[in-house]
Every structure is written in structure tokens, then in C-alpha cells.
């Protein structure tokens, strides 16, 4: 109807279907332009002075940190599992369970100096086994 109302009697149209198609196409484009969803700038802060980019970066850092923590914990647990049984026993009971060497000595019947040496060997092994992770975390 709009096309016919704007039709000028003095204007000749060679191909009426192409002319109507062009008008219809332009109307559809105009309608979509009016309905366009408002976009949010990634760089510019919104009304609360926080920009979308900062929120996403914070979330990504949080996820990355969580993945880093999980990776480190898995590597530590794996390294502890690789320890010889006697070293693992001393390390876990002394470091994790917080038992003294005297208590461990009474439990096992082993001399305190032997238990101290086992813990020292365990720590050396863990330090060398986990040195790559330490270097990676130092770079971040």
C-alpha cells in the first residue's frame, strides 16, 4: 500500500516486480534496524563504571586460578604417591597429621634420626619432582 501511495503518475516504472521487491527489501531492512538489539561496549564502562571486559577477565582469572590450584594439587598428590612407603609414611604423618618425630618413633620403633632422614629424602624428591610446577607458577 505504501508503495502505491508513493507512486508518482509522472514516473514510469520499467519493471514493477523489481521495484516492489526493492521497496519490500528496504522495508525489511528498516524494520530490522529499528529492532536491533542494543550492543554493549566491551571497553567502555557501563553505568556502574564496570566494563564487560573486566568482568570476563576476572572470571577467566578465577577459572584459571582454580584450574591451576587443581593441577598443582593433583601433581603434589601424584608426587607423594611416588614416594617410597617409609618416606611417604613419615612425610604424611609429620607434615599432614602434624605428629612429632618422637610420636612416630614410638609408633614405629624406628630411631628419630632415621625418621628425620626419611622426611629429608621425601622433601628432596618432592622438590625435584615439583620443580617444573614451581617454575611455571613463578612465571605467572
DSSP 3-state of 98: coil
pTM of the model: 0.53
Element at 26 (helix H, strand E): helix 16-35
Clarify whether residues 59 and 25 are in a common domain.
Answer: no
- Count the domains in the chain: 2
Q: What is the dihedral of CA 83, 87, 90, 96, to 10 degrees?
A: -20
Range(s) of the domain holding residue 12? 2-35
Alpha-helix runs per DSSP H in 36-139:
52-82, 85-91, 101-108, 112-129, 131-139
Clarify whether residues 31 and 6 are in a common domain.
Answer: yes
Mind listing the pLDDT tens digit for each residue in 64-74? 677 777 877 88
The three cell numbers locating residue 96: 599432614
- Mind listing the pLDDT tens digit of every residue in the chain (140 residues)? 655 565 565 566 667 677 677 777 777 777 766 766 555 555 566 556 666 566 666 666 665 677 777 877 888 888 889 999 999 999 989 988 889 999 999 999 999 999 999 999 998 998 888 888 777 766 65
For the domain that residue 98 is a member of, what is the CATH number? 1.10.10.10
Mind listing the pLDDT tens digit for each residue in 123-135? 899 888 888 877 7
Clarify whether residues 68 and 28 are in a common domain.
Answer: no
Clarify whether residues 117 and 90 are in a common domain.
Answer: yes
Mind listing the pLDDT tens digit for each residue in 15-30? 767 767 777 777 777 7
Asked if residue 126 belongs to a domain, the reply is yes
Clarify whether residues 20 and 86 are in a common domain.
Answer: no
Asked if residue 14 belongs to a domain, the reply is yes
DSSP 3-state of 53: helix
Clarify whether residues 79 and 128 are in a common domain.
Answer: yes
Amino acid at each position: 500500500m505504501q508503495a502505491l501511495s508513493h507512486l508518482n503518475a509522472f514516473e514510469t516504472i520499467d519493471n514493477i516486480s523489481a521495484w516492489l521487491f526493492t521497496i519490500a527489501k528496504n522495508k525489511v531492512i528498516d524494520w530490522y534496524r529499528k529492532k536491533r538489539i542494543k550492543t554493549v561496549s566491551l571497553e567502555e564502562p557501563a553505568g556502574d563504571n564496570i566494563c564487560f571486559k573486566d568482568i570476563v577477565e576476572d572470571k577467566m582469572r578465577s577459572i584459571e586460578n582454580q584450574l591451576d590450584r587443581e593441577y598443582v594439587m593433583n601433581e603434589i598428590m601424584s608426587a607423594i604417591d611416588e614416594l617410597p612407603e617409609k618416606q611417604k609414611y613419615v612425610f604424611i604423618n609429620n607434615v599432614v597429621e602434624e605428629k612429632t618425630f618422637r610420636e612416630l618413633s614410638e609408633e614405629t620403633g624406628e630411631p628419630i634420626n632415621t625418621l628425620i632422614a626419611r622426611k629429608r629424602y621425601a622433601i628432596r624428591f618432592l622438590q625435584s619432582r615439583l620443580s617444573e610446577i614451581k617454575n611455571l607458577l613463578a612465571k605467572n
